[in-house]
Structure 1
Protein backbone atom coordinates (compact mmCIF):
# COMPACT_ATOMS: atom_id res chain seq x y z
CA UNK A 1 0.00 0.00 0.00
CA UNK A 2 2.79 2.46 0.88
CA UNK A 3 4.55 1.52 -2.36
CA UNK A 4 1.41 2.23 -4.37
CA UNK A 5 0.93 5.61 -2.68
CA UNK A 6 4.59 6.46 -3.15
CA UNK A 7 4.35 5.44 -6.82
CA UNK A 8 1.37 7.69 -7.39
CA UNK A 9 3.13 10.59 -5.70
CA UNK A 10 6.33 10.06 -7.66
CA UNK A 11 4.78 9.84 -11.12
CA UNK A 12 2.10 12.50 -10.62
CA UNK A 13 4.42 15.34 -11.59
CA UNK A 14 5.61 13.75 -14.86
CA UNK A 15 3.99 14.09 -18.23
CA UNK A 16 3.04 10.72 -19.75
CA UNK A 17 5.48 9.67 -22.42
CA UNK A 18 4.22 10.09 -25.98
CA UNK A 19 5.85 7.47 -28.16
CA UNK A 20 6.65 8.53 -31.73
CA UNK A 21 5.05 6.66 -34.60
CA UNK A 22 8.25 4.87 -35.68
CA UNK A 23 9.97 4.93 -32.29
CA UNK A 24 11.33 1.63 -31.01
CA UNK A 25 10.28 0.36 -27.60
CA UNK A 26 12.72 1.45 -24.88
CA UNK A 27 14.49 3.94 -27.09
CA UNK A 28 17.14 6.13 -25.45
CA UNK A 29 14.46 8.81 -24.98
CA UNK A 30 12.18 6.37 -23.17
CA UNK A 31 15.06 5.14 -21.02
CA UNK A 32 15.86 8.77 -20.12
CA UNK A 33 12.18 9.38 -19.27
CA UNK A 34 12.09 6.45 -16.85
CA UNK A 35 15.53 7.23 -15.41
CA UNK A 36 14.25 10.73 -14.58
CA UNK A 37 11.12 9.31 -12.90
CA UNK A 38 13.11 6.76 -10.90
CA UNK A 39 15.80 9.24 -9.80
CA UNK A 40 13.21 11.80 -8.68
CA UNK A 41 11.32 9.10 -6.78
CA UNK A 42 14.52 7.87 -5.12
CA UNK A 43 15.48 11.43 -4.12
CA UNK A 44 12.04 12.00 -2.62
CA UNK A 45 12.26 8.79 -0.58
CA UNK A 46 15.77 9.63 0.65
CA UNK A 47 14.59 13.08 1.77
CA UNK A 48 11.77 11.42 3.70
CA UNK A 49 14.28 9.12 5.43
CA UNK A 50 16.32 12.15 6.48
CA UNK A 51 13.20 13.92 7.78
CA UNK A 52 12.28 10.86 9.84
CA UNK A 53 15.72 10.65 11.42
CA UNK A 54 15.64 14.32 12.39
CA UNK A 55 12.04 14.05 13.62
CA UNK A 56 12.84 11.07 15.82
CA UNK A 57 15.93 12.80 17.24
CA UNK A 58 14.00 16.01 17.93
CA UNK A 59 10.91 14.31 19.35
CA UNK A 60 12.64 11.68 21.48
CA UNK A 61 11.48 12.51 24.97
CA UNK A 62 11.48 10.40 28.08
CA UNK A 63 7.89 10.92 29.19
CA UNK A 64 7.20 10.14 32.85
CA UNK A 65 3.68 8.96 32.01
CA UNK A 66 3.67 5.36 30.70
CA UNK A 67 0.77 6.12 28.34
CA UNK A 68 2.65 9.01 26.73
CA UNK A 69 5.75 6.83 26.38
CA UNK A 70 3.70 4.04 24.79
CA UNK A 71 2.10 6.47 22.34
CA UNK A 72 5.50 7.84 21.32
CA UNK A 73 6.95 4.35 20.92
CA UNK A 74 3.96 3.31 18.84
CA UNK A 75 4.38 6.36 16.57
CA UNK A 76 8.10 5.70 16.19
CA UNK A 77 7.46 2.04 15.44
CA UNK A 78 5.00 2.95 12.70
CA UNK A 79 7.45 5.44 11.19
CA UNK A 80 10.24 2.87 11.25
CA UNK A 81 8.05 0.25 9.53
CA UNK A 82 7.18 2.79 6.85
CA UNK A 83 10.85 3.70 6.38
CA UNK A 84 11.72 -0.01 6.14
CA UNK A 85 9.20 -0.42 3.31
CA UNK A 86 10.68 2.64 1.64
CA UNK A 87 14.20 1.23 2.07
CA UNK A 88 13.09 -1.89 0.20
CA UNK A 89 11.51 0.32 -2.44
CA UNK A 90 14.76 2.27 -2.86
CA UNK A 91 16.48 -1.08 -3.48
CA UNK A 92 13.92 -1.86 -6.21
CA UNK A 93 14.47 1.58 -7.72
CA UNK A 94 18.23 0.99 -7.78
CA UNK A 95 17.66 -2.38 -9.46
CA UNK A 96 15.42 -0.72 -12.08
CA UNK A 97 18.11 1.91 -12.74
CA UNK A 98 20.59 -0.94 -13.21
CA UNK A 99 18.27 -2.54 -15.76
CA UNK A 100 18.12 0.78 -17.62
CA UNK A 101 21.94 0.90 -17.65
CA UNK A 102 21.98 -2.65 -19.04
CA UNK A 103 19.22 -1.81 -21.57
CA UNK A 104 17.02 -4.55 -20.06
CA UNK A 105 14.44 -2.22 -18.52
CA UNK A 106 10.85 -2.57 -19.67
CA UNK A 107 10.98 -6.25 -20.56
CA UNK A 108 9.32 -9.02 -18.54
CA UNK A 109 11.79 -11.08 -16.53
CA UNK A 110 9.63 -14.18 -16.94
CA UNK A 111 8.69 -14.21 -20.63
CA UNK A 112 10.71 -11.38 -22.21
CA UNK A 113 7.82 -9.44 -23.73
CA UNK A 114 7.44 -5.67 -23.45
CA UNK A 115 5.93 -4.60 -20.12
CA UNK A 116 4.50 -1.46 -21.70
CA UNK A 117 5.00 2.25 -21.25
CA UNK A 118 1.77 2.91 -19.34
CA UNK A 119 2.33 0.04 -16.89
CA UNK A 120 5.86 1.26 -16.25
CA UNK A 121 4.63 4.79 -15.69
CA UNK A 122 2.11 3.45 -13.15
CA UNK A 123 4.72 1.18 -11.50
CA UNK A 124 8.24 2.13 -12.59
CA UNK A 125 9.81 -0.81 -10.72
CA UNK A 126 7.67 -3.44 -12.50
CA UNK A 127 9.63 -6.48 -13.66
CA UNK A 128 6.75 -8.58 -14.98
CA UNK A 129 4.25 -7.99 -17.77
CA UNK A 130 0.63 -7.86 -16.70
CA UNK A 131 -0.04 -11.46 -17.78
CA UNK A 132 2.91 -12.92 -15.85
CA UNK A 133 2.09 -10.75 -12.82
CA UNK A 134 -1.51 -11.97 -12.86
CA UNK A 135 -0.37 -15.61 -13.02
CA UNK A 136 2.12 -14.94 -10.22
CA UNK A 137 -0.64 -13.50 -8.02
CA UNK A 138 -2.94 -16.47 -8.75
CA UNK A 139 -0.17 -18.91 -7.76
CA UNK A 140 0.49 -16.91 -4.61
CA UNK A 141 -3.19 -17.03 -3.59
CA UNK A 142 -3.30 -20.79 -4.21
CA UNK A 143 -0.29 -21.33 -1.94
CA UNK A 144 -2.10 -19.53 0.83
Structure 2
Protein backbone atom coordinates (compact mmCIF):
# COMPACT_ATOMS: atom_id res chain seq x y z
CA UNK A 1 0.00 0.00 0.00
CA UNK A 2 1.62 3.35 -1.04
CA UNK A 3 0.37 5.23 2.03
CA UNK A 4 2.26 2.75 4.26
CA UNK A 5 5.54 3.84 2.68
CA UNK A 6 7.23 6.66 4.61
CA UNK A 7 9.23 9.45 2.99
CA UNK A 8 12.35 8.04 4.70
CA UNK A 9 11.73 4.59 3.17
CA UNK A 10 11.14 6.21 -0.21
CA UNK A 11 14.42 8.15 0.01
CA UNK A 12 16.28 5.01 1.16
CA UNK A 13 15.40 3.11 -2.04
CA UNK A 14 18.29 2.55 -4.44
CA UNK A 15 18.63 4.98 -7.36
CA UNK A 16 18.02 2.07 -9.73
CA UNK A 17 14.46 1.86 -8.35
CA UNK A 18 13.69 5.46 -9.36
CA UNK A 19 10.01 5.83 -10.31
CA UNK A 20 9.23 2.17 -9.77
CA UNK A 21 5.61 1.12 -9.24
CA UNK A 22 5.77 1.62 -5.49
CA UNK A 23 7.13 5.16 -5.83
CA UNK A 24 4.61 6.07 -8.52
CA UNK A 25 1.78 4.74 -6.34
CA UNK A 26 3.11 6.78 -3.41
CA UNK A 27 3.13 10.02 -5.43
CA UNK A 28 -0.25 9.26 -7.02
CA UNK A 29 -1.71 8.82 -3.53
CA UNK A 30 0.00 12.02 -2.33
CA UNK A 31 -1.34 13.99 -5.30
CA UNK A 32 -4.86 12.55 -4.94
CA UNK A 33 -4.85 13.55 -1.25
CA UNK A 34 -3.74 17.07 -2.19
CA UNK A 35 -6.48 17.23 -4.82
CA UNK A 36 -9.12 16.17 -2.26
CA UNK A 37 -7.85 18.75 0.23
CA UNK A 38 -8.09 21.52 -2.38
CA UNK A 39 -11.64 20.45 -3.27
CA UNK A 40 -12.65 20.42 0.40
CA UNK A 41 -11.18 23.89 0.89
CA UNK A 42 -13.08 25.21 -2.13
CA UNK A 43 -16.36 23.77 -0.84
CA UNK A 44 -15.70 25.20 2.63
CA UNK A 45 -14.97 28.66 1.18
CA UNK A 46 -18.18 28.60 -0.85
CA UNK A 47 -20.22 27.71 2.23
CA UNK A 48 -18.39 30.27 4.36
CA UNK A 49 -18.93 33.10 1.88
CA UNK A 50 -22.64 32.26 1.56
CA UNK A 51 -23.24 32.20 5.35
CA UNK A 52 -21.41 35.41 6.20
CA UNK A 53 -23.73 38.23 7.14
CA UNK A 54 -22.84 41.84 6.54
CA UNK A 55 -21.95 43.65 9.74
CA UNK A 56 -23.53 46.98 10.59
CA UNK A 57 -20.30 48.48 11.91
CA UNK A 58 -18.04 49.84 9.11
CA UNK A 59 -14.88 48.53 10.82
CA UNK A 60 -16.39 45.03 11.12
CA UNK A 61 -17.52 45.21 7.51
CA UNK A 62 -14.00 46.16 6.42
CA UNK A 63 -12.55 43.27 8.41
CA UNK A 64 -15.04 40.84 6.85
CA UNK A 65 -14.18 42.12 3.38
CA UNK A 66 -10.45 41.66 4.04
CA UNK A 67 -11.04 38.09 5.27
CA UNK A 68 -13.12 37.34 2.15
CA UNK A 69 -10.41 38.79 -0.10
CA UNK A 70 -7.70 36.69 1.57
CA UNK A 71 -9.84 33.58 1.36
CA UNK A 72 -10.55 34.15 -2.34
CA UNK A 73 -6.84 34.73 -3.02
CA UNK A 74 -5.99 31.48 -1.28
CA UNK A 75 -8.61 29.64 -3.35
CA UNK A 76 -7.22 31.20 -6.53
CA UNK A 77 -3.73 29.90 -5.64
CA UNK A 78 -5.25 26.49 -4.92
CA UNK A 79 -7.13 26.55 -8.25
CA UNK A 80 -3.79 27.06 -10.00
CA UNK A 81 -2.23 24.31 -7.88
CA UNK A 82 -5.10 21.98 -8.79
CA UNK A 83 -4.18 22.36 -12.47
CA UNK A 84 -0.61 21.38 -11.63
CA UNK A 85 -1.80 18.41 -9.53
CA UNK A 86 -3.98 17.15 -12.39
CA UNK A 87 -1.08 17.56 -14.82
CA UNK A 88 1.21 15.59 -12.46
CA UNK A 89 -1.38 12.79 -12.22
CA UNK A 90 -1.52 12.70 -16.04
CA UNK A 91 2.29 12.44 -16.15
CA UNK A 92 2.09 9.46 -13.78
CA UNK A 93 -0.38 7.78 -16.15
CA UNK A 94 1.79 8.60 -19.17
CA UNK A 95 5.00 7.41 -17.49
CA UNK A 96 6.84 10.74 -17.60
CA UNK A 97 6.36 11.71 -13.94
CA UNK A 98 9.57 12.38 -12.03
CA UNK A 99 11.58 13.36 -15.09
CA UNK A 100 12.57 16.90 -16.08
CA UNK A 101 10.56 18.36 -18.96
CA UNK A 102 13.67 20.16 -20.27
CA UNK A 103 16.47 17.65 -19.82
CA UNK A 104 14.75 14.30 -19.32
CA UNK A 105 16.86 13.75 -16.18
CA UNK A 106 15.42 12.51 -12.90
CA UNK A 107 13.92 15.33 -10.83
CA UNK A 108 14.78 13.44 -7.65
CA UNK A 109 12.72 12.01 -4.83
CA UNK A 110 13.62 14.70 -2.29
CA UNK A 111 12.48 17.46 -4.66
CA UNK A 112 9.27 15.58 -5.50
CA UNK A 113 8.52 15.06 -1.82
CA UNK A 114 8.92 18.81 -1.26
CA UNK A 115 7.02 19.75 -4.44
CA UNK A 116 5.12 16.80 -5.94
CA UNK A 117 4.03 18.90 -8.93
CA UNK A 118 7.62 19.76 -9.96
CA UNK A 119 8.29 19.46 -13.68
CA UNK A 120 11.91 20.57 -13.75
CA UNK A 121 15.04 19.23 -12.09
CA UNK A 122 16.83 21.65 -9.75
CA UNK A 123 19.37 22.75 -12.37
CA UNK A 124 16.72 23.43 -15.02
CA UNK A 125 14.57 25.28 -12.47
CA UNK A 126 17.53 27.46 -11.50
CA UNK A 127 18.24 28.26 -15.18
CA UNK A 128 14.55 29.12 -15.65
CA UNK A 129 14.56 31.43 -12.61
CA UNK A 130 17.78 33.14 -13.75
CA UNK A 131 16.22 33.81 -17.18
CA UNK A 132 13.10 35.20 -15.49
CA UNK A 133 15.19 37.58 -13.37
CA UNK A 134 17.40 38.55 -16.28
CA UNK A 135 14.70 39.07 -18.92
CA UNK A 136 11.65 39.64 -16.75
CA UNK A 137 9.69 36.74 -18.30
Aligning the two structures, in what range does the TM-score lie when normalised by the shorter sequence?
A: 0.7 to 0.9
Using structure 2 for the length normalisation, give the TM-score.
0.87
Computed over aligned residues only, the root mean square deviation of the Cα atoms, in angstroms, reads 1.9
Greater relative CO (CA pairs within 8 A, separation 6+) = 1
Q: Which residue of 1 aligns with 2:35?
A: 42
Aligned-pair distance for 1:129?
Answer: 0.2
Using structure 1 for the length normalisation, give the TM-score.
0.83
Q: Which residue of 1 aligns with 2:128?
A: 136
- Aligned pairs, how many? 131
Contact 2:11 / 2:109 at 8 angstroms: preserved in 1? no
Q: Which residue of 2 aligns with 1:113?
A: 105
Unaligned runs of 5+ in 1: 1-13
Q: Which residue of 2 aligns with 1:31?
A: 24
> Equivalents in 2 of 1:22, 1:126: separation in Å?
19
C-alpha distance 74-20 of structure 1, shift in aligned 2 (>3 A): closer
> Equivalents in 1 of 2:12, 2:58: separation in Å?
59
Moved over 6 A (4+): none
Alignment partner of 1:93: what SS?
A: helix
Q: Which residue of 1 aligns with 2:68?
A: 76
> Equivalents in 2 of 1:86, 1:95: separation in Å?
14
